[in-house]
Amino acid sequence: MLRTLLLFILTALAEITGCWLPYLWLRQAGSAWLLVPAAFSLALFAWLLTLHPAASGRIYAAYGGVYISVALLWLWLADGVRPQWTDWIGIALCLSGMTIIMWGARS
């Protein structure tokens, strides 16, 4: 279970990075060269999804909870916007839902 969670986190970081770099290019007047690591990051994201051991629909559903959590932490660390208390409650709910989905897959 811990391996899967770490894989989810790496997958989320690859996806967010792959989307954030074009955002910097388009909205923050960044260099078009940001698209090169963005493409690499999105390719890494797709490859990481193939490493998950369970059926893809269940993996995508559970991954969604981790993605939301990592995205809100990214908001804090990369953009300097501290999550509100409602964000922390949302993270807890998302991770609880992810745990239920993954736990159910074991039986």
The structural domain count of the chain equals: 1
Which structural domain, as residue segments, surrounds residue 18? 2-106
Convert the pLDDT of each residue in 6-32 to its tens digit. Answer: 998 999 999 999 999 999 999 988 899
pTM score: 0.81
Residue among 107, 99, 98, 36 at smallest CA distance from 65: 98
Convert the pLDDT of each residue in 36-60 to its tens digit. Answer: 999 999 999 999 988 887 667 777 8
